């Protein structure tokens, strides 16, 4: 049993904190996620930070949210891309794949292994405060076609993709960072709209859950905590075999303490848990998962299954290998990157 194999944690600062280094050395994390607070405009700093993370735990996932548009943690000289909606307006799947491959090459040069992209949500609600132009399209088949092309192109260059936010965040009118949204669509609507891209995303190595309640699927729990959605629908109906990652358990849509939400998320069917800011909360989640696994054989079996999927995900990408010196700089500012920026601008 490995409770640490299911936790991806964030941290403060632009260098690896000793406490996080020790957690990685003890295999009490599956990986880390970087935000703007961890990144300077100096690509050498990002590469050095990722190298220090990988040296503490060679198999660690080193993740970032680099969608393009308003969700982009890495600034210049990293490839500058507009929103998914703007890229998809051209209707050119080959261009989308080309942009994603270029993005993946730069992420690999900096030592990342996982990008929390593409967004597979449907842009179906004009007042949605959190998705909107992050979605590729309002048409389910187009959103699936463009989003999956993006994800497969990332993976072709050695970056793990993560389709989000299962089973669909596009129809919400509330930001799950701030409160718990609900989508009161019928099951038929969800199956023919929200779920279309996720049913077709079986080749993506991971998916991320939505902290959203869908009464037609489960009236009692948001997707992250729902066995009906995270296991019965995703595994048994859709047949998805990859890793399921929770959205950040520190978001206000999840009102339970981290001990309860961590245990319930794993029990429901999540394989990895995002805890994006607080190292203390990550330690508390680790302890809670370990205690529950020691107490309950059923939960221990589910935790072991999650740890196996976590290990399979980490084994699906080449180990982090950040470049340095002239080789690092050659990965940026290339003619190909400039041509892509012009083509999608």
Residues annotated as catalytic are 177, 247
Using DSSP bridges, classify how beta strands 114-115 and 71-72 pair: parallel, antiparallel or unpaired: unpaired
Q: Could you give the maximum distance between any two Cα atoms of the chain, in Å?
A: 58
* Residue matched to tokens 């989640």: 285
Task: Note every long-range contact of 141-144, with CB atoms under 8 Å and residues 24 or more positions apart, other chains counting.
Answer: 141/196, 142/88, 143/196, 143/197, 144/120, 144/196, 144/197, 144/200, 144/201
Please give the C-alpha separations between residue 202 and each of 97, 117, 123, 163, 243, in angstroms, as whole numbers.
18, 15, 21, 10, 11
C-alpha span between 13 and 182 (Å, rounded): 35
Q: Which ranges in the chain belong to alpha helices (H)?
A: 18-25, 43-56, 84-88, 93-109, 140-156, 187-192, 196-199, 227, 258-268, 279-295, 297-315, 325-330, 335-344
Burial of 126 (0-12, 13-18, 19+ CB in 10 A): exposed
Is-contact 39 77, C-beta < 8 A?
Answer: no
C-alpha span between 75 and 240 (Å, rounded): 34
C-alpha span between 206 and 246 (Å, rounded): 10
């Amino acid at each position: 049993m490995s409770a640490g194999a299911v936790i991806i944690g964030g941290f403060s600062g632009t260098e690896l904190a000793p406490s996080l280094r020790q957690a990685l050395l003890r295999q009490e994390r599956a990986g880390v996620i970087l935000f703007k607070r961890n990144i300077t405009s100096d690509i050498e700093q990002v590469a050095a930070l990722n190298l220090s993370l990988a040296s503490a735990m060679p198999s660690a996932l080193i993740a970032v949210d680099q969608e393009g548009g308003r969700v982009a943690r890495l600034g210049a000289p990293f490839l500058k891309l507009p929103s998914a909606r703007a890229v998809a307006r051209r209707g050119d799947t080959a261009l989308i794949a080309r942009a994603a491959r270029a993005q993946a090459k730069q992420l690999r040069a900096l030592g990342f292994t996982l990008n929390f992209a593409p967004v597979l949500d449907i842009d179906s609600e004009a007042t949605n405060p959190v998705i909107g132009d992050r979605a590729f399209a309002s048409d389910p088949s187009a959103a699936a076609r463009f989003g999956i092309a993006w994800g497969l192109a990332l993976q072709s260059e050695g970056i793990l993709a993560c389709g989000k936010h299962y089973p669909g965040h596009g129809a919400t009118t509330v930001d799950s960072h701030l409160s718990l949204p609900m989508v009161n669509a019928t099951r038929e609507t969800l199956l023919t709209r929200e779920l279309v891209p996720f049913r077709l995303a079986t080749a993506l190595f991971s998916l991320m859950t939505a902290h959203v309640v869908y009464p037609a699927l489960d009236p009692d729990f948001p997707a992250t905590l729902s066995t009906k959605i995270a296991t019965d629908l995703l595994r048994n109906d859709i047949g998805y075999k990859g890793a399921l990652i929770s959205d950040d358990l520190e978001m206000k849509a999840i009102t339970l303490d981290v001990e309860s939400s961590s245990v319930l998320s794993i029990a429901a069917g999540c394989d990895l848990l995002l805890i994006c800011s607080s190292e203390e909360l990550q330690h508390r989640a680790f302890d809670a998962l370990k205690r529950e696994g020691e107490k309950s054989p059923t939960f221990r079996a589910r935790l072991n299954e999650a740890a196996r999927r976590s290990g399979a995900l980490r084994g699906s990408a080449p180990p982090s290998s950040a470049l340095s010196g002239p080789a690092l700089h050659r990965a940026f500012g290339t003619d190909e990157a400039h041509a892509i920026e012009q083509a999608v601008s």
